[in-house]
Amino acid sequence: MDITFIFFLGLFFALVGVIPPGLLNMTAAKISLKEGHVRGIMFSIGVSFVVLIQTYVAAIFARYLSKHPEVIDILRIVALIIFILITVYFLFIAKSKPKQQIEPKIKSKHSRFFQGIFMSAINMFPIPYQAYMTITLASVGWLNFEQTSIISYVAGAAMGTFVMLYVYIFFFDKIKSKSLTSQKNMNYIIGGITGIISIVTLINIIKDF
């Protein structure tokens, strides 16, 4: 298995996971706008460091699940239900309400690095997302669970997260005035992505029956 290919798989799927405007990428952009690019990058490095750990945990969990297919079948159904509920919520229930945010007065670069670590650590979405993706990639033969493959995928995921945060930092000025960043459209983007994942998951479940 080509570890370069696996690296870019990790990079690509991490990019996809961070594309929708959310707490981490928007915070990185705001820090960069208010305090400079260096502090925004330090925040992004902190986030990416935690994503590296989370993706490794997800890959190890996926490796365990790959040896217990009966558990995978149950988790697929659970994942399908969760993704459907998330899709329905963001497309039909979530309202566009501006939220009052209190900006912490953190000035040092190291503090922004640790802030990135903290905010990324409380965001647990990458673990189930990457566990699902690694199982799916393994099922089509694009990934195996050897240590070198896992490390390559994990490194790609961390790099992909940093690249997307980097894009938000340096291009936020160009997109901040557009409708893409409105709360309503953020809900539609997230709902659309989870809807696509729901359809793919349902197709995989049906194929296995």
Cα–Cα distance list, 20 to 50, 71, 190, 200 (Å): 19, 30, 6, 19
CA distance 182 to 144: 39
Give the pLDDT score at 126. Answer: 83
Cα–Cα distance list, 51 to 19, 87, 173 (Å): 15, 24, 26
Higher pLDDT, 138 or 96: 138
CA distance 20 to 186: 7
| 55-68 average pLDDT score | 85
Q: Where are the domains of the chain?
A: 3-75+96-174
Higher pLDDT, 66 or 4: 4
Collapsed DSSP state (helix, strand, coil) of residue 1: coil
Instruction: Report the candidate in 144, 140, 145 with the shortest Cα–Cα distance to residue 200.
Output: 140
| 126-139 average pLDDT score | 83
> Would you say the pTM of this structure is higher than 0.75?
no
Mean pLDDT rounded to a whole number for the chain: 78
CA distance 191 to 125: 15
Cα–Cα distance list, 54 to 14, 51, 100 (Å): 12, 5, 29
Best mean pLDDT range from 79-88, 112-121, 122-131: 112-121
Residue 15 · residue 126 · CB < 8 Å:
no
Instruction: Report the candidate in 39, 9, 43, 42 with the shortest Cα–Cα distance to residue 23.
Output: 43
Residues 6+ apart with CB under 8 A from 59: 130, 131, 134, 145, 150, 153, 154
pLDDT higher than 70, residue 97: no
pLDDT higher than 80, residue 198: no
Q: Which letter, b or e, does each residue of 14-46 get, where b requires 16 or more Cβ atoms within 10 Å of its Cβ?
A: bbebbebbbebbbbbbbbbeebeeebbbbbbbb
CA distance 106 to 108: 6
Q: How confident is the model at residue 89 (pLDDT cuts 50, 70, 90)?
A: confident
Give the pLDDT score at 102. Answer: 42
